[in-house]
Chains A and B, each alone.
Chain A
Amino acid sequence: MGSRRTLRWLVGGPPFLFLVVFFLLPALIMVVASFRYPGEFGGLAPLFGARPGEDSGLTAESYRVFFGDWVYFEIFAKSFGVAGLTTLVCLLMAYPLAALIARRPKTERNLMVLLVVLPFASNFLVRVYAWMIILGPFDLLFNRFAVICGMVYVHLPFMILPLYTNLEKHDPVLLDAAQDLGANAWQRFWRVTFPLSLPGIFSGSALVFIPVLGMFAIPEILGGKDDWIVGNMIKESFLGTRDWPFGSMLSLMLTVAVLAVAGATSWLAARGMRRA
């Protein structure tokens, strides 16, 4: 048994240690950073041993500012709105395509899926830039609409793939049975296909919703100043105003939001599974 233990550490140890140092530790340091004072020239003030007149130690100042002003709440609400709209549009566009691919013969399916993934071969910024070229001549740039276009374009495959993976598993016999029992197309879709596809819808939605919340490049490039979301605020805190404690606090709030969304979708998916 001892050798199994050694083996376990030999194989799992290096990636474990690497991720503890470069993922877990930075995350914990960020939690602490959110309770510190901003440094005189940006960054963080020292924890101990400050010079006279300098702030040091811990404070909840960032949280006080955040919870003391509706502006930040509004930005979070706006971010959720943008993410929700993006998810909805992605779902509407992804469903028919995923349904079609799932119904094609096996040989065609892989090709059709590959065609969905191929645009991913281009750089993320290139895909955003493409919308600058398209919307620019029509004077449709720098507004919420352009932001949604860019968000949908960048995240659409994340909705199509889980939906397809789910729809592919459906047994067509179920639809035949429903038809024999007198269900029309509307009933067959809403009472058979749709409930069965809920897990796919939820995992796709989480995969679209969560990254949208943290996005800063798309609102910055395609949107106006009004369209800034949480991601932009975080970026601005770290690189613009250089108020790192505030940025860390915002990052933590985003993490909480992400965990809430992930938790809610997996709960809903589990519930949907039981009902179906």
Chain B
Amino acid sequence: MRRLALAVEGLAIAVLFGSFLASGGKTVLAGAAFSLLGLAFALGLAGQRGELERFWLWFASLLVYAFLYIPLIIVVIFSFNDSKLNAEWVGFTTDWYAKLFADQEMLHAALNSVTIACVASLIATVLGTMAGISMHRFKPRLLPFLVFTPVAMPEILLGVSLLIFFLNTARPLLGAFGIEMGLGLTTVVIAHITFCIGFVAIIVRARLAGMDESIFEAARDLGATPWQTFRLVTLPLILPGVIAGALMAFTLSIDDFVITFFTSGVGTKTLPLEIYTMIKVAVTPEVNAVSALLMVLTLAMIVTASRLAPDLMRAKA
């Protein structure tokens, strides 16, 4: 057990040392924190049984939870800070929120985000549900590839390939028919649908996989047409999955930055794009305020989705 602890600790120190060298020696403090983490993990990992080991496992796990939550809590706290800098606490204020709601550009971006997310998630839910049912029922060969690859690929690849497609293929093609086309809301919606279909399809298929096939056979034997079977039997059964998929698609769409970045063009801004610009140009607590609000919104969506389909959490991974 001690040897394992040493091995893991050694690994942690090696990782540290690497990043330390790479970043030019400024990371002593962070280094100390990381090796403490490493030690805790090592002891926790070694702990298979016994009170002491369990303590260390809990200790390591609580540190990870802290790692997950502290940064977000800091963002929220500083959104109420009466200072232009995110460095120290000065006093309580809601000015940043007031400023945010007076910011026309921000409100416009928020409206864009919600519009895109509504349209994209609606269409992606319909197409994704169809894809999920089709994959479950007919076991097609090519469809799973088309559905899952956009989910598994780095987002940037979908973003740039759609950028080329929209500007270099679709625009001249539509131009030949006299239709003016540029990057904007429509292209962003199409791009979002493309990657949301996969998530909805995964959830719907998972829902169908756990079901007793004989229900559908019974419906058919009793003379139901395929449409009646779908409307009266299949849809009510998979509805929680469909709703969870829709919420998931909405969350993914409203949060998406990378693909939107490449397909939105110059004129169209969404909330994540505004946040990106703010972070790159001037970091003010207004960013914290919009972040906190966005957090509350998506939090509500995820909690609702998880209530509807507990297996959803694993669908993303």
In whole angstroms, what is the CA distance A95 to B272 when docked?
Answer: 32
Q: Is the interface of A mostly helix, strand, loop or mixed?
A: helix
Please tell me which one of the listed residues B58, B193, B201, B291 contacts residue A122 in the complex, with CB atoms under 8 A apart: B291
Q: A29-B165, A114-B313 given as contacts; is B41 within 8 A of A18 (CB)?
A: no
Closest residue of chain A to B46 (Cβ to Cβ) is A185
Q: Is the interface of B mostly helix, strand, loop or mixed?
A: helix
Contact between A125 and B276 (Cβ–Cβ < 8 Å)? yes
Residues in A neighbouring B37, C-beta threshold 8 A = 93
Q: A267 contacts the other chain (Cβ, under 8 Å)?
A: no
Residues in B neighbouring A149, C-beta threshold 8 A = 30
Residues in B neighbouring A251, C-beta threshold 8 A = 156-157, 160-161
Q: A115-B65, A145-B26, A153-B71 given as contacts; is B275 within 8 A of A129 (CB)?
A: yes
Interface residues of B in 33-79 (CB under 8 A from A): 37-38, 40-41, 44-49, 53, 57-58, 60-61, 64-65, 67-72, 74-75, 78
Please tell me which one of the listed residues B143, B152, B157 contacts residue A16 in the complex, with CB atoms under 8 A apart: B143
Q: A165 contacts the other chain (Cβ, under 8 Å)?
A: yes
Task: Report, as a range, how many residues of chain A touch the other chain.
Answer: 35 or more
Contact between A26 and B161 (Cβ–Cβ < 8 Å)? yes
Interface residues of A in 215-260 (CB under 8 A from B): 215-217, 220-221, 231, 234-235, 238-239, 244, 247-248, 251, 254-255, 258
Q: A12-B131, A16-B143, A18-B127 given as contacts; is B24 within 8 A of A130 (CB)?
A: no
Report the minimal beta-carbon distance from B303 to chain A, rounded to whole angstroms: 8
Q: B22 contacts the other chain (Cβ, under 8 Å)?
A: yes
Q: B153 contacts the other chain (Cβ, under 8 Å)?
A: yes
In whole angstroms, what is the CA distance A146 to B2 when docked?
Answer: 31
Q: A118-B302, A189-B46 given as contacts; is B71 within 8 A of A130 (CB)?
A: yes
Q: A198 contacts the other chain (Cβ, under 8 Å)?
A: no
Please tell me which one of the listed residues A156, A175, A234 contacts residue B68 in the complex, with CB atoms under 8 A apart: A156
Contact between A126 and B291 (Cβ–Cβ < 8 Å)? yes
Q: A92 contacts the other chain (Cβ, under 8 Å)?
A: yes
Chain B residues with CB under 8 Å of chain A are 1-4, 8, 11-12, 15, 18-20, 22-24, 26-27, 29-30, 37-38, 40-41, 44-49, 53, 57-58, 60-61, 64-65, 67-72, 74-75, 78, 86-87, 127-128, 130-131, 133-135, 137-138, 140, 142-143, 146-147, 149-150, 152-158, 160-165, 167-169, 190-191, 193-194, 197, 201, 226, 251, 255, 257-258, 262, 271-272, 275-276, 279-280, 283, 287-288, 291, 294-295, 298-299, 301-302, 306, 310, 313-314, 316-317
Residues in A neighbouring B299, C-beta threshold 8 A = 118, 121-122
Residues in B neighbouring A268, C-beta threshold 8 A = none
Chain A residues with CB under 8 Å of chain B are 7-8, 11-12, 14-16, 18-20, 22-27, 29-30, 33, 43-44, 85, 88-89, 92-97, 99-101, 110, 113-134, 136-140, 143-146, 148-149, 153, 156-158, 161-162, 165, 175, 179, 184-186, 188-190, 193, 204, 207, 210-211, 213-217, 220-221, 231, 234-235, 238-239, 244, 247-248, 251, 254-255, 258, 262
Contact between B1 and A186 (Cβ–Cβ < 8 Å)? yes
Residues in B neighbouring A12, C-beta threshold 8 A = 130-131, 134-135, 138, 140, 143
Contact between B45 and A96 (Cβ–Cβ < 8 Å)? yes
Please tell me which one of the listed residues B40, B45, B72 contacts residue A95 in the complex, with CB atoms under 8 A apart: B45
Please tell me which one of the listed residues B60, B61, B72 contacts residue A119 in the complex, with CB atoms under 8 A apart: B72
In whole angstroms, what is the CA distance A49 to B302 when docked?
Answer: 53
